[in-house]
Structure 1
Amino acid sequence: MYQRILVPVDDSDTSAAAVKEATRFACEQRAVIRLVHVIDLAQFAWSANEFLDVPQLQEALRNSGKLLLERHAEALREAGLTPEQELLEAWGGNLAHTIVEDAGKWNAQLIVMGTHGFGGLTHLLLGSVAEGVMRATPVPVLLVRTPAHGGK
């Protein structure tokens, strides 16, 4: 049913759970998985702080993102899959928009992503990339949550 599955990843437990769920789908349906990680290169660029080496920090973000993608890709390879990987760069923009744009260019048929499920004030302050993706994409989205920490 779904032959092209896009999985946005970060360094969270919910992201790892989403990769696990996407792996199950891909193995059952012989699908291709594309892992993407979005970095915002503008997060340090706004600062005129003379103590920050902005290009060095941006390169560190790129390197960290590549390592993260490789770690998730290794888990997929262990399951017998051959994932694609892409580090996406945003400049102070909406991360959800960057994910949706990539899903369209890649012709994704399903987006599988983790969500922290924050509500209330935390959601208001932090927003939700998953919610932004759901609102902006015509592609079906499967959201994966992990149990709340602390057994609650």
Structure 2
Amino acid sequence: MYSRLLVPLDGSPTSLLALEHAAALARLSGATVVLLHVIEPLRHSTGFERPKVYIEDVRPRFMATGQALLDEAANRLRDDGIASETVLLESGIERVSAQIARQAETSRCDLIILGTHGRRGVDRLLLGSDAEQIARTAPVPVMLVRKPHSARAA
């Protein structure tokens, strides 16, 4: 069925929920889980850093933090006997959703498992929806995972 699962992680509770679903599916199918973290430099910079400070201090810190997130998730999967790979990317000017869709092809994944907040109305309009964009543009099926209604209300 599915042999390679792509799981984009950002450290949010919904991305960790997607990881749980991927682990369950991988246990059933023997699939490899490809963990992806996309760093958005503009989120980690004020724009006032001197280039030398950014290159020597700021960028290495957020790269290390992103890799640590991936390594922690990969270790959890390996402890469960699940094969995994990690991919760390920087977004540059391209949308994160486009990079995730392209990474599914690059890593030869046949399913993307993605956490979503399930926002609607004005929240969705103002905050956008990477999950929706990925579902529309991905070259493979996309499984959107979110907390059940009862857990969100609490």
Q: TM-score, normalised by structure 1?
A: 0.89
Which runs of 4 or more aligned residues in structure 1 lie more than 3 Å from their structure 2 counterparts after TM superposition? 42-46, 50-53, 147-150
Say yes or no: does 1:89 pair with 2:90.
Answer: yes
Tell me, in whole angstroms, the C-alpha distance in 2 between the residues paired with 1:3 and 1:50. 43
**How many aligned positions are there?**
150
Q: Distance in 2 between matches of 1:50 and 1:20?
A: 38
The residue number in structure 1 matching 2:143 is: 142
1:28-57 Cα shifts (integer Å, max 9, x gaps): 11111100000022445682x257832222
CA distance in 1, matches of 2:14, 2:54: 30
How large is the Cα RMSD of the aligned pairs? 1.9
CA distance in 1, matches of 2:95, 2:49: 27
Once the two structures are superposed, residues 52-101 of structure 1 have per-residue CA deviations (whole angstroms, 9 ceiling, x without a partner) of 83222222211110011111112111211121001011103200001111
Residue pair 2:104, 2:139 contacting (<8 A) in 1 also: no
| CA distance in structure 2 between the aligned counterparts of 1:124 and 1:54, rounded to whole angstroms | 32
Taking the TM superposition and a 5 Å limit, the aligned residue runs for 1:2-81 are 2-43=2-43, 47=47, 49-50=48-49, 53-55=53-55, 56-81=57-82
Question: Residues of 2 paired with 1:90 and 1:73: CA distance?
Answer: 22
Structure 1 gaps, min length 5:
none
1:42–1:90 CA contact under 8 A, matched in 2: no
Going from structure 1 to structure 2, the CA distance change for 1:118 and 1:50 (only over 3 Å counts) comes to same
Identity %: 37
**Counterpart residue identity of residue 125, structure 2:** L
TM-score (norm 2): 0.88
